[in-house]
Amino acid sequence: MRCELNHCDLVMDATLEKKTCCNDPDIFCHVCGIVTPQAQRRKINNFVKKVCRAYFKVTLRDQDKTWAPHKVCKTSVETWYNETIHQNS
């Protein structure tokens, strides 16, 4: 049995030099770690940015990049909002 390598296996295609992901980063909630249906997604707004900074000690950046998350799940936003209200009352 002879193992043959195809020429294209040895040569890096020029299109691979720029790494891009074919998956939408917004299908996954980066807060709770769950794949989120489109109806349950919420845009990352100033409130979410402030809470991420306070809770995770992380500043959300690169919002102008396509690979960055731009949405979180509704449950995470509502949970954070309710906790914020209870802490302030």
**Per-residue pLDDT tens digits for 10-34:** 444 455 556 666 778 889 998 888 9
Q: Which domain holds residue 61?
A: 7-88
Stretch 48-69: mean pLDDT, rounded?
Answer: 87
The set of residues, in sequence order, having a beta carbon less than 8 Å from that of 87 and lying 6+ positions away, is none
Q: Which residue has the higher pLDDT, 1 or 16?
A: 16
User: What tokens appear for 89 in the block?
Assistant: 């009352």
pLDDT for the residue numbered 8:
43
Q: Cα torsion at 59, 57, 87, 40 (round to 10°)?
A: 60
How many distinct structural domains can be found in the chain? 1
Does this model's pTM top 0.75? My answer is no
Let me know if residue 2 belongs to a domain: no
Tell me the CATH number at 23.
3.40.1800
As a whole number, the mean pLDDT across the chain is: 79
Rounded Cα–Cα distance for residues 42 and 39 (Å): 8
pLDDT for the residue numbered 11:
46
